[in-house]
Amino acid sequence: MTYQSGAIIVQPDYTVLLDKRHPQGEQAAEQLARFADLIKRPGDLHTYRITPLSVWNAAAAGVSADEILDALEQHNRFELPFQVETGIADWAARYGQLRLEQRDGKMLLVGNDPKVLENLAEKPAVRDSLIAPVSGCAWEIRPAHRGRLKQELIRIGYPVLDLAGYHTGEQLQVDTRGLALRDYQLRAVELFYKEGSVQGGSGVLVLPCGAGKTVVGLAALAELKCATLILTSNVISVKQWKKELLDKTTLKESDIGEYAGELREVRPVTIATYQIMTHRGAKKDEYVHMKLFSERNWGLIIYDEVHLLPAPVFRMTAEIQTTRRMGLTATLVREDGREEDVFSLIGPKQFDLPWKTLESKGWIASLSCVEIRVPLAEASRERYYKAEPRGKQRLASENPLKLEVIMELMERHAGQQILIIGQYLNQLEQLSLRLGVPLLTGSTPHHERELLFERFRQGKLPVLVVSKVANFAVNLPDASVAIQVSGSFGSRQEEAQRTGRILRPKAGSNEAHFYSLVTDGTKETEFALKRQMFMIEQGYSYELEIWDGEAESGKAVVT
Pick from 103-107, 192-196, 230-234, 286-290: least confident: 192-196
Classify each residue of 148-175 as buried b or exposed e, where b means 16 or more C-beta atoms within 10 Å of its C-beta.
bbbbbbbeeebbbbbebbbeebeebebe
- CA 295 – CA 46 distance, rounded (Å): 49
Q: What stretch of H or E contains 100? A: strand 98-103
- Percentage of the chain with pLDDT > 70? 94
- CA 58 – CA 357 distance, rounded (Å): 19
Instruction: Give the mean model confidence (pLDDT) for residues 399-418.
Output: 95
CATH top-level class of 183-353: alpha beta
| DSSP code per residue over 330-354 | S----TTSTHHHIIIII--EEEE--
pLDDT at residue number 557: 40
Name 388's Cβ contacts closer than 8 Å, sequence gap at least 6.
none
User: Residue 477's pLDDT band (boundaries 50, 70, 90)?
Assistant: low
pLDDT at residue number 146: 94
Same fold, 102-162 and 359-558: no
Neighbouring CB atoms inside 10 A of 213's CB total 23
pLDDT tens readout for residues 118-162: 999 999 999 999 999 998 899 999 999 999 999 999 999 999 999
How do beta strands 366-374 and 300-304 pair? Answer: unpaired
Q: How far is CA 453 from the centre of its chain?
A: 24
Pick from 338-352, 390-404, 531-545: least confident: 531-545
pLDDT for residue 204 is more than 90: yes
pLDDT for residue 553 is more than 50: no
Instruction: Give the mean model confidence (pLDDT) for residues 80-100.
Output: 95
Pick from 203-207, 361-365, 533-537: least confident: 533-537
- CA 309 – CA 302 distance, rounded (Å): 12
pLDDT tens readout for residues 278-336: 988 787 888 889 999 999 999 999 999 898 888 889 889 999 999 999 999 987 777 67
Cα–Cα distances in angstroms (integers) from residue 12 to residues 17, 48, 381, in the given order: 12, 13, 44
pLDDT at residue number 45: 82
Instruction: Give the mean model confidence (pLDDT) for residues 256-282.
Output: 92
- CA 61 – CA 56 distance, rounded (Å): 9
> Per CATH, the architecture of 359-558 is what?
3-Layer(aba) Sandwich (3.40)
User: Residue 518's pLDDT band (boundaries 50, 70, 90)?
Assistant: very high
User: Residue 555's pLDDT band (boundaries 50, 70, 90)?
Assistant: very low
**What is the C-alpha radius of gyration for the chain, rounded to an integer number of angstroms?**
25
- CA 307 – CA 472 distance, rounded (Å): 11
Cα–Cα distances in angstroms (integers) from residue 494 to residues 15, 122, 278, 305, 334, in the given order: 25, 41, 21, 12, 10
Which is nearest to 518 in space by CA: 545, 541, 549, 554?
545
Q: Are 540 and 369 in contact (CB under 8 A)?
A: yes
Pick from 40-54, 139-153, 169-183: least confident: 40-54
User: Could you tell me the pTM of the whole model?
Assistant: 0.84
Q: Does domain 102-162 match CATH 3.30.70?
A: yes
How wide is the angle at C-alpha 470 spanned by C-alphas 467 and 471, nearest 5°? 100
- CA 517 – CA 373 distance, rounded (Å): 6
- CA 298 – CA 294 distance, rounded (Å): 8
Q: Are 353 and 207 in contact (CB under 8 A)?
A: yes
Instruction: Give the mean model confidence (pLDDT) for residues 503-512.
Output: 84
Q: Compute φ and ψ for 264, nearest 5 degrees.
A: -135, 60
pLDDT for residue 198 is more than 60: no
- CA 521 – CA 538 distance, rounded (Å): 27
Q: How far is CA 155 from the centre of its chain?
A: 21
pLDDT at residue number 199: 60
Which is nearest to 479 in space by CA: 447, 456, 495, 452?
456
Neighbouring CB atoms inside 10 A of 262's CB total 5
- CA 438 – CA 441 distance, rounded (Å): 10
Pick from 61-65, 97-101, 359-363, 433-437: least confident: 359-363
pLDDT for residue 539 is more than 90: no
pLDDT for residue 397 is more than 70: yes
Amino acid in position 511 = E
pLDDT for residue 481 is more than 50: yes
Domain ranges of the chain: 8-94, 102-162, 183-353, 359-558
